[in-house]
């Protein structure tokens, strides 16, 4: 049986007619009791299980999902990973995540295809140039690689971009993070799932958590169609559906669920080898390894659980794309989809114990959860194993809404939505 | 493009409307006496219901605020009613 993925095992399996590959993960029936349960088998949930097993030596862990693993926002995002955030708290958290991504393929023995091709954020006016300089300075002080680049450099990086002075949204400069990039989103979920499974984590798919077991004011497990599953530590990593689970646990969250849409074009030859974001058009775009242009933008302004999105938001994004790259006007769109994102008032995630003791939250990542997967997993694992915050997750506790210490990245780093 | 019913203007495109929060999330009375928990709840907590959701919406073109009940999973609008001048739900 071939367990380890390597060039050698590829050659070996080539000679063995590919018969020896082992299933990447099991599909076990749930036990009646675990040491820890994580609800939600997306990137964050699977990463949490992996780090619980790896860093905290736990082996009796279950990840439970109502659908299939990686079928929510992990499989629906536009795969951008960057850490150029404004506030020190965010910079530290996202940079920790980016660093984990840099070593993730090796760590998981699974190629997540992390390609550090850089992210270019355009700047459109003199006033914005000053703000951009301030942002870049703040990022550099926080130890994040970030540069203010001029038009000549932009021309080298994205020759296709409409940089003429007559462009509808004229470009004066850009913020560049060279270490940022994209990864294969499914591979991140699959890689964590396979690595967690090898550490004896049970991944239970198609099993919806319908309620919590609450005894003596503490969360003691979950109720599912396959029966009660008990655990003294329960983690919640269900993104856009966090409010539904919170309602079952008896509290409300500072979260509104919106649809975030994305789409891909038909595949074409390589034309764009970086990620480009234009705040004026609120559109971002990259080209996948298959050649498709991966296009995203702002959220639909209507709170929704529909996982599809409406046309007005798509129209804004696509007209923005054509302002940026007029030459893409002939491209045909191949697929369009939507995910339910959990947006907080300050566009920063919520990591911490919930008002129900024994239930731990990892939610509120909004439109940027994919880049946070490794860090989110490490933070939630630490909380679930020890009951105490990691230094990096402490500022993101739910109590910031009571104390007023918000980490307002919507204003800070110019998130498009 | 979905059409939302404004109680004053009739069916209008969704882009003319702005979501303004849960219906019945009234500002707590008694400024200094209000506890931190109540303020936090009023300012930040949302029902964020999946399914039938009772919400306050604003029609940006006529500036009127009204109550709309809709299904957040199917986008079906169930009812749309004007709010009384005092902000009481009709």
Cα separation, A234 vs A39, in Å, equals 7
At A278-294, the pLDDT tens digits run 988 889 999 999 999 99
At A17-46, the pLDDT tens digits run 999 998 999 999 999 999 999 999 999 999
Going by pLDDT thresholds of 50, 70 and 90, the confidence category of residue A413 is low
Going by pLDDT thresholds of 50, 70 and 90, the confidence category of residue A412 is low
Domain layout of chain A by residue ranges = 7-83+85-110+184-254+346-412, 119-177+257-343
CA distances from B7 to A334, B11, B81 (A): 39, 9, 6
- Contact at CB, B19 and A301, closer than 8 angstroms: yes
Reading the block at residue A157, the tokens are 């990086």
List the single range of A179-193, A224-238, A307-321 with lowest mean pLDDT: A307-321
Backbone angles phi, psi at A139, to 5 degrees: -65, -40
At the fourth CATH level, the homologous superfamily of domain A119-177+257-343 is: D-Amino Acid Oxidase, subunit A, domain 2 (3.30.9.10)
Chain A: residue whose CA lies nearest to B19: A302
List the single range of A147-161, B20-34, B72-86 with lowest mean pLDDT: B72-86
Quote the pLDDT of residue A281: 83
Fold of A7-83+85-110+184-254+346-412: FAD/NAD(P)-binding domain (3.50.50)
Cα separation, A89 vs A66, in Å, equals 33
Task: Give residue for tokens 């009940």.
Answer: B69
Going by pLDDT thresholds of 50, 70 and 90, the confidence category of residue A358 is very high
Rounded to two decimals, what is the model's pTM? 0.95
Average pLDDT value for residue range A367-383 = 97
Q: Which residues pair with A286 in a beta bridge?
A: A294
| Pairwise pLDDT comparison (A309 vs B79), residue with the higher score | B79
Partner residue opposite B45 with nearest CB, options A244, A254, A304 = A254
- Contact at CB, B14 and A302, closer than 8 angstroms: yes
If phi > 0 it is left, if psi is from -120 to 50 it is alpha, else beta; for residue A241 that is alpha
Quote the pLDDT of residue A1: 63
Indicate if the pLDDT at residue A376 is higher than 80: yes
Average pLDDT value for residue range A357-378 = 97
Quote the pLDDT of residue A29: 96
ipTM of the complex in this document: 0.93
CA distances from A188 to A177, A195, A294 (A): 22, 11, 18
Quote the pLDDT of residue A309: 87
- Burial (CB count within 10 angstroms: exposed 0-12, middle 13-18, buried 19+), residue A172: middle
Cα separation, B37 vs A260, in Å, equals 31
A/B interface, count of CB pairs below 8 Å: 66
Indicate if the pLDDT at residue A102 is higher than 70: yes
Q: Which residues of chain B lie closer than 8 angstroms to A247, CB-CB?
A: 47
- Contact at CB, A303 and B48, closer than 8 angstroms: yes
- Distance from the Cα of A47 to chain B's closest Cα (Å) equals 26
Chain B: residue whose CA lies nearest to A257: B48
Indicate if the pLDDT at residue A80 is higher than 70: yes
Which domains does chain B show, CATH number per domain? Answer: 3-82 (3.30.2270.10)
Quote the pLDDT of residue A282: 84
Cα separation, A319 vs A172, in Å, equals 20
Cα separation, A248 vs A219, in Å, equals 11
Quote the pLDDT of residue A415: 56
| Test mutation, B20, B23, B47, B48, chain A, max A CBs within 10 A | B48
At A312-353, the pLDDT tens digits run 999 999 999 999 999 999 999 999 999 999 999 999 999 999
Q: Which residues of chain A lie closer than 8 angstroms to B75, CB-CB?
A: 302, 304, 306, 310
For the CA atoms of A245, A372, A104, A192, the dihedral, rounded to the nearest 10 degrees, stands at: 10
Chain B: residue whose CA lies nearest to A341: B48
């Amino acid at each position: 049986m071939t367990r380890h993925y390597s060039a050698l095992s590829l050659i070996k399996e080539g000679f063995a007619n590919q018969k020896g590959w082992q299933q990447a993960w099991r599909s076990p029936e749930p036990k009646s009791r675990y040491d820890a349960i994580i609800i939600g088998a997306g990137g964050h949930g699977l990463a949490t299980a992996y780090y619980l097993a790896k860093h905290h030596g736990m082996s009796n862990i279950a990840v439970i999902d109502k659908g299939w693993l990686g079928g929510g926002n992990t499989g629906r995002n536009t795969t951008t990973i960057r850490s150029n955030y404004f506030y020190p708290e965010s910079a530290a958290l996202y940079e920790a995540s980016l660093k984990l991504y840099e070593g993730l393929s090796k760590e998981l023995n699974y190629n997540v295809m992390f390609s550090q091709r850089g992210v270019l954020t355009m700047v459109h006016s003199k006033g914005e140039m000053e703000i951009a300089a301030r942002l870049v300075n703040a990022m550099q002080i926080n130890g994040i690689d970030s540069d203010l680049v001029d038009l000549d450099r932009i021309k080298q990086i994205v020759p296709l971009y409409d940089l003429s002075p007559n462009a509808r949204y004229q470009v004066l400069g850009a913020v560049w993070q060279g270490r940022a990039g994209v990864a294969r989103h499914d591979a991140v979920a699959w890689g964590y799932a396979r690595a967690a499974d090898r550490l004896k984590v049970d991944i239970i798919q198609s099993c919806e958590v319908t309620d919590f077991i609450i005894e003596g004011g503490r969360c003691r497990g979950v109720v599912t169609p396959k029966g009660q599953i008990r655990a003294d530590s329960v983690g919640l990593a269900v993104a856009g559906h966090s409010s539904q689970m919170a309602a079952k646990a008896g509290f409300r969250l500072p979260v509104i669920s919106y649809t975030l849409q994305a789409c891909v074009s038909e595949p074409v030859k390589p034309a764009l080898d970086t990620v480009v974001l234009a705040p004026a058009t609120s559109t971002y775009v990259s080209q996948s390894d298959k050649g498709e242009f991966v296009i995203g933008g702002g959220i639909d302004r209507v709170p929704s659980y529909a996982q599809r999105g409406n046309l007005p938001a798509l129209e804004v994004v696509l007209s923005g794309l054509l302002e940026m790259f007029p030459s893409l006007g002939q491209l045909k769109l191949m697929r369009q989809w939507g995910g339910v994102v959990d947006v907080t008032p300050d566009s920063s995630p919520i990591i911490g114990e919930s008002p129900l003791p024994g239930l731990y939250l990892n939610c509120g990542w909004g439109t940027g959860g994919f880049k946070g997967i490794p860090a989110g997993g490490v933070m939630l694992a630490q909380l679930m194993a020890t009951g105490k915050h990691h230094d990096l997750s402490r500022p993101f506790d739910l109590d910031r809404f009571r104390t007023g210490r918000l980490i307002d990245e919507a204003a800070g780093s110019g998130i498009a939505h | 493009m979905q059409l939302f019913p404004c109680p004053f203007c009739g069916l209008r495109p969704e882009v003319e409307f702005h979501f303004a929060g849960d219906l019945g999330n009234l500002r707590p009375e008694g400024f200094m006496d209000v506890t931190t928990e109540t303020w936090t709840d009023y300012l930040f907590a949302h029902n964020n219901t999946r399914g039938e959701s009772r919400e306050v919406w604003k029609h940006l073109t006529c500036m009127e605020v009204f109550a709309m009940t809709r299904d957040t999973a199917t986008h079906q609008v169930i009812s749309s009613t004007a709010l009384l001048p005092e902000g009481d739900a009709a």
